[in-house]
Amino acid sequence: MKILIVVSSLDLTQPYSATPAWWQLMKGLYENGVELIAVPYQGLPVESLWWRALPNPARWQGDLFKALRDHARSRLPRISARQSTAVSRDSLSDRAIRKTAQALIAPLWERHLKRILAREPDINAVLFLSAPLNHLNGVPRSIVERFDIPVLYFDGDMPASLPTMQGFASGFRIYQGADLSEYSAFISNSSGGEDLLRQLGVKRAHTVWYGADPDLFRPVAVKDQDIDILFYGHGAEYRAQWIDNMITQPSLALPEARFAVRGTNLGALGKARTLPYLSFSKLREYVCRSKLNLCITRGAHASVYASSSSRPFELAALGACIVANPYAGIEEWFEPDKELVIVRSADEARETYRDLLAHDGKRQAIGAAARERLLKQHTFRRRAAELIAIIKQYL
């Protein structure tokens, strides 16, 4: 099988949090025998051992568009997370920017993709991987009509990407004004999101959860576990209360425990110290230096059943003892109290930390069980095989 992928970004220096996951998924596709051509929607065409990268046909236009969009959003009043789950906001500036993208950027992409497909007629399918839907109206339909191959869309930000959720401040609003009927099928990271997509008019919806590549997320030996409790993540959007419950309040109540965070824009953190950012690969060392690792999932994901995010799988692959906030459907991936621990309040978090820090064997058994489950069921090579099976249905 040969797939042409239009991916949101291939550049790990760009602020797209899913890019490391897409690297792992595409590596998994390669390991399952798929030949890949990858074209970034934003940024540089980064080559790798697992795919061939082709240029972004609208790089400077895309950079200009992003700058204009960010400027426009910075001048709009922010709304609360609670409001954003109930209000579908499509401002005049959003509509204007979207129409500009459709008029200027979509034609460049259509010509570029058609040239690639004409030059390489053995391509079996086109997959849009979290590229903004509503910037590319008409492109999928044109490809299907001209080349008679399936065009699928993979949304890795469900359910935060939905119009009723407003997405993240740094992200695109991709569904407003999009023509979902152009795509052969939709794939997302959320089981509960399948019905939500159908309500938007998608006829065929599938789920492929996130995972982790155990070659990348492999435990590393450390001299000492000098961190008791670690949280690694960025932004307090949709999880400010759980940051308070699991970091701020417990760090003040347990002065003997060494709390640490690696992240930005997290709000008040009590007595937790901030670790320096060195590189993405530093995550592995930080996690292995920590006796407990917190998984604080944003409310948008935690409230819709089995809406996967990367962090639980990355921590499990590293053999971490995971302590998580309530997360609908987490039992689909890990067994509570055996492969991770869930806390439901600040008091419960405090007592759980105290218990696990006092019992090395219990803590280590939870981490080992989580890694074993990950290796059996949640590798990106397995996720890639699931994606291949879905695509084959449309060939």
DSSP string, 260-298: EEE-SS----TTPEEPPP--TTHHHHHHHTEEEEEE---
Highest mean pLDDT among 16-20, 30-34, 64-68, 167-171: 30-34
Judge whether 145 lies within some domain. yes
Q: Are 193 and 277 members of one domain?
A: no
Angstrom distances, CA of residue 252 to CA of 104, 246, 356: 53, 11, 18
305-324 pLDDT, tens per residue? Answer: 999 999 999 999 999 999 99
Task: Return the half-sphere exposure (C-beta side, CA atoms, 13 A cut-off) of residue 4.
Answer: 26
Residues 6+ apart with CB under 8 A from 133: 153, 174, 175, 178, 180
Confirm if 184 and 170 have CB atoms less than 8 A apart. no
Q: What percent of the chain has pLDDT over 70?
A: 88
Report which of 108, 153, 112 is spatially closest to residue 129, judged by C-alpha positions. Answer: 153
For residue 176, what pLDDT is reported? 87
Q: Are residues 257 and 371 located together in one domain of the fold?
A: yes
pLDDT at 165 (0 to 100): 75
Residue 241 binned pLDDT confidence (cut-offs 50, 70, 90): very high
Q: Is residue 220 part of a domain?
A: no
Where helices occur in the chain by DSSP H, the ranges are: 19-31, 59-74, 81-84, 92-104, 106-119, 139-147, 193-199, 240-243, 249-253, 282-288, 299-303, 310-317, 346-358, 360-377, 380-392
**Residue 11 and residue 96 share a domain:** yes
Contact of 303 with 255, CB cutoff 8 Å: no
pLDDT, one tens digit per residue, over 129-143 is: 999 888 899 999 999
- The two three-digit tokens of residue 191, written as one number: 């089981």
Q: Are 171 and 251 members of one domain?
A: no
Amino acid residing at 31:
E
Residues 246 and 359 in one domain: yes
What Cα–Cα distance (Å) separates residue 313 from each residue in 218, 309, 333, 379, 393? 12, 8, 9, 8, 27
> How many Å apart are CA 65 and CA 62, to the nearest integer?
5
pLDDT of residue 78: 46
pLDDT in tens, 243-300: 999 999 999 999 999 999 999 899 999 999 999 887 767 889 999 999 999 999 999 8
Residues 302 and 236 in one domain: yes
Confidence class for position 215, pLDDT limits 50, 70, 90? very high
221 belongs to a structural domain: no
In a domain, 165, yes or no: yes
Contact 229, 353 (CB under 8 A): yes
160 and 207 together in one domain: yes
Asked if residue 147 is part of any domain, the answer here is: yes
202, 243: one domain: no
Pairing verdict, β 125-129 and 151-155: parallel
Q: How many Cα atoms within 13 Å fall on the side-chain side of residue 50?
A: 16
How would you classify the pairing of strands 227-232 and 259-262? parallel
* Domain range for 249: 227-378
In a shared domain, residues 132 and 279: no
Q: How confident is the model at residue 377 (pLDDT cuts 50, 70, 90)?
A: very high
The CATH number covering residue 48 comes to 3.40.50
Q: Can you give the CATH number for the domain in which 254 is found?
A: 3.40.50.2000
Give the global pTM.
0.91
Closest CA to 160 of 172, 145, 151, 143: 172
Asked if pLDDT for residue 62 goes beyond 50, the answer is yes
* 332 and 244 both lie in a single domain: yes
Three-class SS state of 349 = helix
367 and 239 part of one domain: yes
Give a yes or no: residue 137 inside a domain. yes
Domain-embedded: residue 88: yes
Average pLDDT, the chain: 90
Q: Which stretch, 16-20, 83-87, 113-117, has highest mean pLDDT?
A: 113-117
- Per the structure, how many domains does the chain have? 2
User: Which tens digits make up the pLDDT trace of 71-92?
Assistant: 554 554 444 444 443 344 566 6
Whether residue 141 is found in the same domain as residue 273: no
Residue 218 lies in a domain: no
Q: What is the pLDDT of residue 170?
A: 46
pLDDT for position 177: 87
Question: CA geometry: angle at 211 spanning 209 and 212, to 5°?
Answer: 165
